[in-house]
Structure 1
């Protein structure tokens, strides 16, 4: 079982690295492909758009297939598309290849989350989920700076490296992962989109997913243009930006690993509120800082609160309807990547229009504030506590 845990960790590390690798490369690719700033964000958004569209279909649809075969298909497509990104010759070729990489990832990651409860004993599922989730945090801490160092030699090397490693992992999936046959009960026979209608009939669900969308849109809008902002403001090279990303990734890891401890002390509601308020303040002051070290320090707190808040949000969303958690997770992932695409695009427009990061920070702060208000108005916090208490009593 340790081999499977390591395999899933590596898959999430590679997909996480590929998700964020464009951010430090935006200044280089913008100059290379002669892209205006207002459109540069779509190099991040294309991947997210491909993922968002197909995650809605891939998650529920794969409930009726052998998950191993679906994962092999997705990982292979992801590998080839990522390698092709290294051969991009203009904006539109990069856009298409990034969207195809998102398509492959959309068929891969839902299988991991759905396979863990099947492959591992119940008492180990939570631990394995935490380790696999740490793969994403590790991608920000280590994958992005490694990509930045490779890009210092040539911008295409990160894509070749991630793609080649992903192909190797595809081989490991074939030989290591057992077949995971579908359980064709009545639920899996329910039409795909009818499951989403069933979920979103609830006012609580609609407002909770809106809150999730606003949270991701604000965070990713600011994240997409960190690299360009540091290049414009502090004249950093692409490898130096990679080192800054490493430090920010450490903040995400610290939040991911320490989140359970913080939540145990403060409780879910207080932890989420404090994290959101800290993020809002940091987004507003970050553009006005005059040194790289101060900027790093503020964004370290933003990434730490992201690492703490994201699992809390996912826990709240999956509590909406415990009988269709797979559909809930697919919708949450699709919304997250839709928000990434839209947030990156809006950030590019704002950055170009107002000539800097200040307006982007204000936009991010407004999104986080709107997210907090939407969560409170949804009534999900009392409902979640009631559900948790019922489970404890049973």
Structure 2
């Protein structure tokens, strides 16, 4: 029963931090209009959040290898909570950037320790299963959190989405205090902080695997960031209706992530990453080419969601075991590389989309995902352990 409650608690935390990240995409047109700025400037709020996460995660992550991880989770989610409520109060784009930065730093302290707790508490097939279940919280945040946020935005304005996010974060924090067990100090030595970096640097294939994550996420977020804007402009939907389109993606990705551990166990992480990476390239191109028909857009979104769910779960499960003694450090860098991918994906997309449209960002995404597949194939040639 304790394990079940623990999984539920971690799932809720991942759900709400995921919702806060993903909800921005369909809100960009509303933020653009409210602050009278360009879509590129509005998208910069995603870049700021991601950059603060990417820079903060490697700094905060090793703390989880030295201090109680539950305590760090509490601090992280409180910072995230403050950032969410401040975003709801933002009255100009510059204050919004600052408040998104605060939320990003809170998430940077929270999520790496969640993955590290899972890696420490579970092992073998159980680890694959639990990793898939908890990661599915990100997918459910798209299916439920994004439409909920856009509905609140449609009822009032986009600020309501962040009031809702803050309220759910407060509930998740309460659950966290009850269901997540206290995690003992891993290493109390003062030198442990820097030793964690050293272990990671000398780990076989570590940087290579993290680079795969970066390239993969660059491809995914370069197209996801502007998905809401594309749907709104192409099919003339309002903010609430655009959010409902994300339900198809979110539910499909939730199913794939939930059962991703099962697929990883049977296919192996390497085969799962390669197969789903190749399929991602095909579905991203399909989404870009058949962009004028709503039914095809939804169809390719569903297919893309499925292969992304399976592939990312397999990649994360592999990375969490690269350096078992320093999982917080490893997962902090994993999160950092993920959000660096988001940072550069949204940044490059902000340049490409206004000039070349959705097909332009689609081609960028397909190239990046294809590169991730090539890197995954190359990693097996440096054999010291098995992907």
Give TM-score scaled by structure 2 length: 0.90
**Higher mean C-alpha displacement, 319-328 vs 27-36:** 319-328
Q: Which residue is equivalent to 1:391?
A: none
Q: Which residue is equivalent to 2:333?
A: 331
**Residue aligned with 2:243, SS:** helix
Q: Distance in 2 between matches of 1:179 and 1:20?
A: 30
Q: What is the aligned counterpart of 2:302 among 300, 303, 319?
A: 300
**Higher mean C-alpha displacement, 340-349 vs 2-11:** 2-11
| 8 Å contact from structure 1 (residues 74, 104) kept in 2 | yes
**Residue aligned with 1:181, SS:** coil
Q: Aligned pair count? A: 383
| 8 Å contact from structure 1 (residues 204, 379) kept in 2 | no
Q: Which residue is equivalent to 2:271?
A: 270
Unaligned stretches of 5+ in structure 1? 389-394
**Residue aligned with 2:183, SS:** coil
| 8 Å contact from structure 1 (residues 252, 307) kept in 2 | yes
Give TM-score scaled by structure 1 length: 0.89
| 8 Å contact from structure 2 (residues 125, 265) kept in 1 | no
| 8 Å contact from structure 1 (residues 203, 378) kept in 2 | no
Q: Which residue is equivalent to 1:283?
A: 284
> Does residue 225 of the first structure (1) align with residue 226 of the second (2)?
yes
> Does residue 59 of the first structure (1) align with residue 50 of the second (2)?
no
Q: Which residue is equivalent to 1:75?
A: 77
| 8 Å contact from structure 1 (residues 317, 328) kept in 2 | yes
Q: Which residue is equivalent to 2:216?
A: 215
Change in 2 beyond 3 A, CA 1:204/1:70: closer
Deviations 1:28-57 (A, max 9, x none): 111111222333322212221121111111
Q: Distance in 2 between matches of 1:124 and 1:202?
A: 24
Q: What is the aligned counterpart of 2:172 among 158, 169, 173?
A: 169
Change in 2 beyond 3 A, CA 1:333/1:248: same
| 8 Å contact from structure 2 (residues 108, 332) kept in 1 | no
Q: Distance in 2 between matches of 1:195 and 1:116?
A: 18
Q: Which residue is equivalent to 1:259?
A: 260
Change in 2 beyond 3 A, CA 1:264/1:33: same
Q: Which residue is equivalent to 1:379?
A: 380
Q: What is the aligned counterpart of 1:137 among 132, 136, 139?
A: 139
Q: Which residue is equivalent to 2:192?
A: 190
Unaligned stretches of 5+ in structure 2? none
CA offset at residue 71 of structure 1? 1.7
| 8 Å contact from structure 1 (residues 255, 308) kept in 2 | yes
Q: Distance in 2 between matches of 1:36 and 1:377?
A: 41
Q: Distance in 1 between matches of 2:96 and 2:342?
A: 17
C-alpha root-mean-square deviation of aligned residues, in Å? 2.5
**Higher mean C-alpha displacement, 124-133 vs 68-77:** 124-133
| 8 Å contact from structure 1 (residues 253, 307) kept in 2 | yes
Q: Distance in 2 between matches of 1:235 and 1:191?
A: 52
Q: Distance in 2 between matches of 1:64 and 1:277?
A: 39
Q: Which residue is equivalent to 1:234?
A: 235
